[in-house]
Amino acid sequence: MQFTAAQIALIINGRVEGNADAAVASFGKIEEAQNGQLAFLANPKYEEYLYTTKASIIIVNDTQELKQQVKATLIKVPDAYSAFATLLDKYQQIKQQQLHGIQQPAYIATTAKIGEQVYIGAFAYVGENVIVGEGSKIYPNVYLGDQVTIGKNTIIYPGVKIYHDCIIGDHVSVHAGAVIGSDGFGFAPQTDGSFKKIPQIGNVIIQDHVEIGANTTIDRATIGSTLIKSGAKLDNLLQIAHNVEVGNNTAIAALTGISGSTKIGNNVIIGGQAGLAGHLQIADGTKINGKSGVSKSIKTPNTSVTGTPAIDYVTSMRSQAIARNLPALEQRVIALEKLLKQMMEKKSI
C-alpha cells in the first residue's frame, strides 16, 4: 500500500511542505529510513538526522525550525509523536481489515454466536455460548471458554487463554500468551498445616479500549468481578490478583504485581517492578515509581511515591540526599569527637 503526503496529511490534520505527491509504502526510523519510507521527528536529540535522512516524508512539529535545507517532504502537525501514533493505528486497522473468515482446523461450539467480519485463526477453541462481536480478530491457538463475551473490533492475539464467563469489551487488544480469568490465589489454612482451596466463582470484566500486554495474567474474582476499566493500558508480564479494580486510563508497566482486592483509581501511573499489597485504595492520579513497594493505601489524589516501603516522593529524595552525605557526616563526627576529647584532656590538666 502506498500513500502520498497529501493523503497522510489529511489523516493526521497536517500541513504539507514540499512535494504533496511524494509517496511512501512503509515506515522507518529517521536515522535509518530509506527512499519510499516515512519517518517522524519528535525528540530534539534526533534533529541532526532531519538533514541527512533518506526518508521521503517526515512528520515534524509545527514549532520545528529548519537550520538547513531538507530534502524530504515535511508534514507539520502540533504533536509529531501523537500524529505518528494516529497514522500507525490507521495503518494497522487497514491491515487488520484484510483478516476475516474462519480458518481450519478450528473448534467452534454450535451455541457460539459469531458476528460479521470476524476472523478466527487455525486451532482456536471457541466454547459453548461464546459471543464474538463484529470485526473482532481471534488469532490461532486462542482459547475462549464457555460463556465468554468478546466485544466489537477486539483483537485476541495468538495463544491467549480466556477462561469461562469472562467479558471483554470493544476495541480491546490482548497480546500473545496473556491469561484472563485464571483462579485467584485463595487458600484457607487448616489446623494440620495444609491449605484448603477456596473456589473462585467470579469472573474478569475488561471494559472498552483496554490494552493488555503479552504474558500478563489477570485472576478471576473469588466472588464478583476483577475489573479493568476503560482506557487502561497494561504492560507485559503483570500479575493482577482476584477482585482487583484498575481505574480508567491507568497505565501499569511491566513486572508489576497487584495483590487481591486492591482498588486503583483513574489516571494512575505505576512504574515497572512495583508491588502493591492487598486491600489497598490508590487515589486518582497517583504516580508510583518503579520498584516501589506499596504497603499502605494512598488516599490523597495526585500523590507521587517511591521506595520500599513507598513514601512521598519529595521526602524520599531528601532522605536519599542525606544518605549520600553520610560518609562526609561521619568524618565530621569523628573530627568533633577528637576535638572534644582534646578539650576535655586540657580541662583536666
Pick the catalytic residue: 164, 171, 175, 242?
Answer: 242
Taking Cα atoms as reference points, which of 202, 171, 166 lies closest to residue 184?
A: 202
For residues 237-247, b (16+ Cβ closer than 10 Å) or e, as one string?
Answer: bbbbbbbbbbb
Distance CA 22, CA 27 (A): 14
Cis peptide before 105 (omega within 30 of 0): yes
Give the DSSP letter of residue 129.
T
Distance CA 151, CA 190 (A): 42
In sequence order, the 6+-apart residues with CB closer than 8 A to the CB of 312 are: 303, 304, 305
Backbone angles phi, psi at 162, to 5 degrees: -120, 115
- DSSP string spanning 250-319? -EE-TT-EE-TT-EE-TT-EE-TT-EE-SS-EE-TT-EE-TT-EE-S-B-STT-EEETTTTEEHHHHHHH
* Helices (H) then strands (E): counts for the chain: 3, 40
**Would residue 272 be called left, alpha or beta, if left means φ above 0 and alpha means ψ between -120 and 50 degrees?**
beta
Give the DSSP letter of residue 8.
H
- Indicate the residue type of 339: L
Q: What is the largest CA-CA distance in the chain?
A: 104
Is 175 labeled as catalytic in the residue annotation?
A: no
Cell of 5: 503526503
Taking Cα atoms as reference points, which of 302, 288, 286 lies closest to residue 256?
A: 288
Residues annotated as catalytic are 242
